[in-house]
Amino acid sequence: MAQKATEKNELRYELVEIPKEFGPARVLVNDHKIKTYAFTQDDYRSWYFSDNSPFGKRIGHAAILANDLLWLFLTERENIVGLHAQEELWFHSPVFAEEQATLQGKYVDKYEKRGKGYVVMEAEARGEDGRLLIRRRGIENTLSDLGSVVGRRTAKEADKPVTGEYRKDVAPAEKARADLEPGTPIAPLVKHVTQEQMSVFSGAGDYSKNFHTDLDRAREAGLRLPVVQAQQQVGYLTEMLTNFFGASWFTSGWEKLKFIHPVYAGETVTTRGVVIRMVEENEVARLELEIGVENEDGVKTAVGWASAAVDD
């Protein structure tokens, strides 16, 4: 989340304390939260609306708490100026409907690179019984002039290149299998992003105005239109990976994304993934993938990697 901030609560690089702890905060994953998240992502899998899930009862979406873990860092700053540069998530257990999750996090590092200041955040969510649900590590670019960098591709795509290349002679794989050959694409998703979905996802229901929810705030930040929150793109990719890996994604999934180009309100994007290799860990087969999001012009907006165990 980000918007024009006052000096009092602005996330300015020089004011960030390392380490700095946040929480605990508690989030109830009730029927309203599940339905709201489903609307923002256009993801209505039956597991989220009935007890017909692989875990024996109704669950929340795999990434339903990811944005809450990001918002945890707003507890002392109502407004934040910055760009979400990188997101990394580890999935350990599903959260069940009507379960209250406890969230905690901290600033763990900050550094300067190419004249910009970056803040590293780590957080986790645990269930009512103390089990680990999800961990995240995020990096925020602490900027005040968003228009100077948004859309200008000033960041590198990734530590190691994500080529996006895949075999054209095989159909996309719908489900993970240990015998899938490198280069095999997985079934993509197409998402048309509406301003209504963006506004609900990024806090308009809590009367928050920011450059994701409000046209005036977007233009104050030098943007032509509100931009999709990076964490919303994470949700699209997580849905694709849930479709591919199934129940295993909730207990063994990992994804790491870098955000390299904006997605604006009203655009249509496509998520993509390609199998890179199969590895064995403790006699369990894991598939490693390159993943990403691209807009209608074929421009990559997010790139990264993912992996999870293959269900037997």
The SS3 of residue 210 is: coil
Identify the residue with better confidence: 221 or 127: 127
Identify whether the C-beta of residue 42 lies closer than 8 Å to the C-beta of residue 197: yes
Query: Cα separation of 250 and 94, whole Å?
Result: 6
Q: What is the pLDDT of residue 84?
A: 82
Q: Is the pLDDT of residue 153 over 50?
A: no
Q: What share of the chain has pLDDT > 70, as a percent? A: 82
Query: What is the spatial order of strands in the sheet that 254-259 belongs to?
Result: 20-29, 99-113, 116-126, 132-141, 83-91, 254-259, 300-309, 284-295, 268-281, 189-192
Q: Which pLDDT value is given to residue 144?
A: 47
CA distances from 145 to 202, 218, 257, 284 (A): 20, 11, 23, 47
At 6, is the pLDDT very low, low, confident or very high (cuts 50, 70, 90)? very low
| pLDDT beyond 80 at 11 | no
- Rg, Å, the chain Cα set: 19
Average pLDDT over residues 233-241: 97
In the chain the domains, ranked by start, together with CATH numbers, are: 1-146 (3.10.129.10), 161-193+228-312 (3.10.129.10)
